[in-house]
Amino acid sequence: MTPATDAAADSHQVPQSIDILKIMQSIPHRYPFLLIDKMVEIHAGQSAIGIKNVTVNEPFFQGHFPSHPVMPGVLIVEAMAQTAATLVVMTLGKAFEGKLVYFMTIENAKFRRPVGPGDQLRIHVDKERSRANVWKFKGVARVDDVAVAEATFSAMIMG
């Protein structure tokens, strides 16, 4: 952690897990674009796991693909970013709740197998570095402990 994130994490208590209501308090995303349902194993300023329960009722399945529903890879990467953004807000505290977080880079995205209805994505994000309001993460999405997608990405929190 940087000294700024050390101080932020020390100044308030960060829970080990949060529900959808706390996620919605932390980031501005809403249905149909809120892509995480819960977060667990939160380590302030370092890592977290986001949970996405994929159901057949997801709006993107109407067109991707009706006869063989597959969650778009870009939405899996977005779920990684939302997990990371929520971790950043949880680390930095109440003053950053609801702030916008913008992608800056997406690197080395790999999609290993399709994700479909009935799957539960466990989205592991680990901070690689942060400086000022720019954070870089490595994300790996897993289904049944098998990696289905991964990417390295950076984002800027606006505030």
Nearest to 70 by CA among 52, 51, 54, 53: 54
The rounded distance, in Å, linking the Cα atoms of 71 and 53 is 11
In the chain the first and final C-alpha atoms are separated, in Å, by 20
Give the integer Cα–Cα distance in Å for 142 and 112: 10
Is 64 one of the catalytic residues?
A: yes
The DSSP code for 28 is -
| DSSP state, residue 58 | -
Q: Which residue has the tokens 């399709």?
A: 114
Q: Is 62 helix (H, G, I), strand (E, B) or coil?
A: helix
Pairwise CA distance, residues 140 & 155, whole Å: 16
Which residue is catalytic, options 12, 29, 43, 64?
64
Active-site residue set: 64
